Each structure stands twice: as structure tokens, then as C-alpha cells.
Amino acid sequence: MTTTSDATLEPRPADEWWRSAVIYQIYPRSFADGNGDGTGDLAGVRSRLGYLRDLGVDAIWYTPWYASPLADGGYDVRDYRTIDPAFGSLADAEALIAEARELGIRTIVDVVPNHISSEHEWFRAALAAGPGSPERERFWFQDGKGPDGDQMPTGWVSSFQGDTWTRTTNPDGTPGQWYLHLFTPEQPDVNWNHPDVRQEHEDVLRFWFDRGAAGIRIDSAALIIKDPALPEVPATPGPGEHPHLDRDEIHDVYRGWRRVADDYAEPRVLVGEVWLADHERFAQYLRSDEMHTAFNFDFMARPWDAKELRESIRTTLEAHAPVGAPATWVLSNHDVTRPVTRYGREDSSFDFAAKRFGTPSDLDLGTCRARAAALLTGALPGALYVYQGDELGLPEADVPRELIQDPMHFRSEGVDPGRDGCRVPLPWTRTGSSLGFGPDGGAAPWLPQPADWAERSVQAQDGDPESMLSLYRTALHLRRELTALHDEELTWLDLGGDDVLAFARGAGFACVVNLGTTPVPLPAGADVLLASGPVDGAVGPDIAVWLGLPS
């Protein structure tokens, strides 16, 4: 499906690499298991760096690899300066960062500022020190409401469903104060009005930047500041009026972080996890003295529908333009349903609240659309995120209920399947007890791999020009080489009506994606550079093509 082209080839510019980078997301527990204990680790990643170089990625973002009780897959950090022993050591991380950089791959680490682990030394000290202590001021400890203090201080609802406050027990066994946790009780929220919290996080940034990290991904970035009056959430909060989401004071924190990042000879990059429906408020995080980029979840949540995706692309680019920040394009991550499964469903949008066991999906259709989506997102201006395993076309796995570990499942009282289905360890080989995830005969992977993943393994796809892996490899290399994709211009083209997304990037390149049912004839003189499926003079339904256009 690949043909050669006359388009000019040029190396990627070295500065502002993040504006158009391809960033591969590694979930360390599930990428590669070097020591055979069933859990992925840094030794495993080090052994697979050549694969990532060949895939054509510019950077790797690691979900948290720090010491953690893993109550929320590592987003409950016990110690930012220690690698969890299940993953390796700090020396392993330093070696990994350096080795990747030698291959031209930068490292982005995850920072989780909203909360820490309940086993972090600060929280243990706060529990031990008791009400009114300075140690408790680093968190949101409150007396309960009601005559016995047995009612929660607020009725805020957790992003993980359920309560956001847990009551402590005093040393004498009597019920004590409550503490705030927007996620699980094992993830107490820290108080960003406290100077220790600000200082500590800036020090953590420096700790990792000094070790060669090229940037950070900021977890739950819009949640960190709370209204100290702790009011209830208004029915329809106006901008900045929500007590724990997107408060105006938040920008001061990220301005401070930007100063830290800019202090380095190669400035470090801030990437925000900002879930906000309001595009203008979203863009405020991307002003020139704040974050460099933020994840575009609007696009990820939309269904496979030309009108919806066009609207998302248009509003995304419009929102980013005034602040001069590049957009990002994200098809999935470790929290959401894999694209192959999602795009094969009747409702192919994504919504956390709608996840249910047994939702049917046509995986052939989903795969066809996921291939087209890979070319669509790969051709858009901005940075591209690829979640591990999407380049293999892995579907969401059905993890047996008794093996599920994700707290989202338990907090929904078993209604929500949770996020483990997209976190199953990768298949590298056709054979072997863990399909090459770990050494043959090692411990079983921490989540079971479906048997039919042997044929989705890297080995099975490697030499197959029709495979998802080959499509990704070719697309990522072409994306780097085609000069037309280096600038940030996009011009919509009218080629075949409302069900077709077609746009030019520069004079000589176009991307056409057919989301309708009628084949779309290729423009006269167009040269097919890459196609997500068979193309014979026309682009069929659910197919995307990259075209070289005559000048």
C-alpha cells in the first residue's frame, strides 16, 4: 500500500521538537518484562529501544515509575525520587534515559501534583501529628459536618465515582477528621496553597530534568487548586467558579514550573493532562509562559463521524492559534478503550460513564477505521501520541472479572469494567509463555493476554506489509521526512462531500479520509504516498490516504 514519492526529504528541525513530535506512551508494567516476574520493567524497555527507534518515535512518555503501592497503577506516588523496585532502580532509569537519547529518543516523565500516596511520608506524618498540626496543612483535613462530625465536609463526587472524603481514626480509636481525595482514599489531595507543596514539586521537576528528562506530563492538571472555603459545586459553575476544577489561581503554579523548565540549556517541556470542555479555558494553559502542549481529549472522545471529527479538528486548531501552541492528537491512552474496539462499536464515542461489560464491537471494522484514524491524526498539524500496542492494533482485552485490579471497577461496584482491558501486557512473539513479554517460562503476566494475540505480536506483523505495525512504521517515517508536514498550516479541501475529511498541508500534500459509504475518486494527478487500505483510483469507505499532489 506504500508507493514512493518525489516529495522532498528533510530531517526534523532540532529546536521546538515537541511541536510536531511523535510521542510513544509506555505503561511500564505492561511493555516488556526483563526479569521474568510477570511485571514489565525498565530492563524490558531498555531491551526494546531499538524497536521504538525503528518505529520512528521522537520521545517516550512513561506513566509513573516511582515507588508506589499501586493502588491506582502508580498514580499514587510514595516517593518521586525512587523507582518502584518492581520496575528497577534509579540507576536503571538514568541509563534508560541516556540510552534512549543516544538513539534520538527523548524522555517525558509523569508528575502527579494533585495527590500523593497515603503511604507517602508526608501523609503518614499528617495522620500521626493529629488535627491542627502543620503536617496536616499540606493536605485537606477537615472536621466533619453535623453534631457528631460524621458527615462529609462537601458532597463533591469523585472522578472515580463515590465519595471524595474519608474519615480518619484518632489514636484512641475514636472517629477523627476527614481528608479529601478526588480519586481513591489511597490518593489524598495535597494543598497547593501550602509553600511546601509548591517547593517540593519544583524540586521533583529539577530532580528529573537534571537526570535528562526532556519534559513532564502533568497528571490531572486542572484539578490541583481548591477553593479553600470548600463550597458545594454550583449547578452550573461559570468560568473559574468550580471549587476544584480549572480555578484561575492554577496558572500561577504552571508559570512557576515553566520558569523551572526554561532554566535548562535545552528547555524542558510541560505537557498537561487537561480535561476541559471549554476550548478557551483549555487554551489558557498553553499561553507562552505556561505549558507547551496539552492532550486533546475532545478529538479522542468523538465518534467515527466526519462532521464530529471535522468540528473537533477545526475547534482545536482555532483554540490553539491565539496562544501559538501546537495541537496534540491522541487516539487513546492507558485510561480509555482501545481504538480498534471503540471504532468497531455502534456508538464509537468515548465516555468514561458509559463503559460497560460486553459492549459488542466489530473488530474488523474497528481495525479498518483505526488504520484510517492513524493516518488522519498522523497528517494533522501538531504532536502525535501513540499508546503502546495501538501500533499493533490490539483491541481492548476482556480481563476476567476476578483478575481486574483497576480501582475504577471496584468504585463503580463492579458496573464499570475499568481500564485494565487496555493495560494488558504486549505480545512481542508468536510463541513463548507470555508471547515474548517476558522470558519464556517466566511468571505469568500480571494480566492475562488473550490467546489470539500471538497473531497480533510484533513478530507476526514485522515483515507483513499489510500489518498495522508496518502502517505505523511507514507513516511515522514519512511524517518525519515530508517537508509539507513540518509547518502547521492546514487547508480544508472539498473532495466528495460532508462524509469526507480532506485537507492539504502545504502545496504538495493532502490527506483524504472517507467516513462515508461511497468511494471518493482520487484527485487528478495525485500520487498515493500511503493508504490505510486498498485504493484503486478511489478511496473506499473507512480508508485514509496520504497523497502527493502535482504542483
Residues that bind ligand NOJ (CB under 6 A): 72-73, 75, 112, 183, 219-220, 273, 334-335
CB of 118 to ligand NOJ, least distance (A): 13
Nearer to ligand NOJ, 332 or 467 (CB): 332
Indicate the SS3 state at residue 183: coil
Nearer to ligand NOJ, 86 or 469 (CB): 86
CB of 108 to ligand NOJ, least distance (A): 13
Q: 313: alpha, beta or left, given left = phi > 0 and alpha = psi -120 to 50? A: alpha
In whole angstroms, give the CA distance from residue 65 to residue 110: 8
Give the closest residue to 166 by CA, choosing from 151, 148, 156, 178.
178
Angle between helices 363-379 and 468-481 (to 10 degrees): 10
Name 467's Cβ contacts closer than 8 Å, sequence gap at least 6. 393, 460, 461
Nearer to ligand NOJ, 113 or 344 (CB): 113
- Grid cell locating 205: 521537576
- Grid cell locating 331: 487516539
Nearer to ligand NOJ, 184 or 514 (CB): 184
CB of 308 to ligand NOJ, least distance (A): 24
Nearer to ligand NOJ, 205 or 471 (CB): 205
Which H or E run includes 538? strand 538-539
Residue nearest to ligand NOJ (CB): 75
CB of 73 to ligand NOJ, least distance (A): 6
Nearer to ligand NOJ, 45 or 336 (CB): 336
Nearer to ligand NOJ, 75 or 304 (CB): 75
CB of 182 to ligand NOJ, least distance (A): 8
CA distances, 471 to each of 197, 369, 527 (Å): 45, 13, 17
User: In a 10 Å sphere around its CB, with 0-12 CB exposed, 13-18 middle and 19+ buried, how is residue 173 labelled?
Assistant: exposed
Nearer to ligand NOJ, 47 or 159 (CB): 159
CB of 389 to ligand NOJ, least distance (A): 16
In whole angstroms, give the CA distance from residue 2 to residue 472: 12
- Grid cell locating 14: 532540532
CB of 61 to ligand NOJ, least distance (A): 11
The residue type at 476: L
In whole angstroms, give the CA distance from residue 424 to residue 396: 9
Give the closest residue to 518 by CA, choosing from 537, 501, 540.
540
- Grid cell locating 438: 517476558
CB of 506 to ligand NOJ, least distance (A): 35
Nearer to ligand NOJ, 75 or 178 (CB): 75
Phi and psi angles of residue 543, each rounded to the nearest 5 degrees, phi first: -115, 145
CB of 408 to ligand NOJ, least distance (A): 8
In whole angstroms, give the CA distance from residue 19 to residue 464: 31
